[in-house]
Amino acid sequence: MLAKTMAEYLNEQLNLELYSANLYLQTSAYCRYKGFDGAAAFLKIHSQEEMKHMQRLFDYLSNTGALAFIGLIKEPPVKFNSLENVFKYTYAHEQEITEKINNLANIALNTKDFLTFNFLQWYIAEQNEEEKLFKSVVDKFTLVGDSGSSLFLVDKDLQSMASNLQHHTIE
């Protein structure tokens, strides 16, 4: 049986993962609206991944005798100044998620909830990959700038990354 306090913390994370899914879906819509189809595809795939992260927490809570609950999810931003701004925002969001996961792991370890600590190891590894991926996109803007032709190249690269991610998720 999962401790009540840990269940509350995990439910907060579950809802943050649901917010992340909404954030990536909204940024995908923004990118599609602005004509960045590669970025839109990349972000839509990430929305689907975040839903899987949420469902993983949902299942863990349910399987450990706790009640999983969906709370009020805040509305993600709708407008951005640029494509680069979208990715700086999402990279900062991933860093926030990493901090929250690390905090959860610390709480689990300090309360000797080794089952939850073990469960969170997957998220720790996943966040390392997510941060690395989003940082690489932000770094692309630093390398090529934000002119029209540079944005075209970044968007095409994101389309390629989306295709690779799609194949990775299927396998």
Q: With pLDDT > 70 as the criterion, what percentage of the chain qualifies?
A: 97
Token pair for 153: 């190249």
Query: Could you tell me the pLDDT band of residue 53, with boundaries at 50, 70 and 90?
Result: very high
Q: At 113, phi and psi to the nearest 5?
A: -90, 80
Q: What is the pLDDT of residue 147?
A: 78
Instruction: Give residue 148's pLDDT.
Output: 78
DSSP string for residues in 29-44: HHHHHTT-HHHHHHHH
pLDDT digits (tens, 9 = 90+) for 65-118: 999 999 999 999 999 999 999 999 999 999 999 999 999 999 999 999 999 999
pTM over 0.75, yes/no: yes
List domains and CATH numbers for the chain. Answer: 4-170 (1.20.1260.10)
Q: Which pLDDT tens digit goes with each residue over 156-167?
A: 999 999 988 876
Residue with tokens 């799609």: 166
Distance CA 42, CA 22 (A): 14
